[in-house]
Amino acid sequence: MNELIRLKDDEGGATAIEYALIATFVSIAAIFGMSALGITLSNMFSMLGNTIDNALQAVGLI
């Protein structure tokens, strides 16, 4: 019976679950942030490439 009372009052597992939830939310936020950054960088480099192509065509190098 004392074992059941001791297990009921143990909060070590709750702390581990809280840390796991925090790590999960931080990971999800990082994934979404990096994904948005990757899309933005891709768009920026595409625009830069198109601008360079247009400039080279304007001066007759392509």
For the chain, what are the domain ranges?
Answer: 2-58
pLDDT at position 55 is: 96
Distance CA 54, CA 29 (A): 38
**Quick one: pLDDT band at residue 6, thresholds 50, 70, 90?**
confident
**Quick one: pLDDT band at residue 7, thresholds 50, 70, 90?**
low
At residue 13's C-alpha, the angle toward residues 9 and 18, to 5°, is: 120
8 vs 19: which has the higher pLDDT = 19
**Quick one: pLDDT band at residue 57, thresholds 50, 70, 90?**
very high
Full-model pTM: 0.58
23 vs 12: which has the higher pLDDT = 23
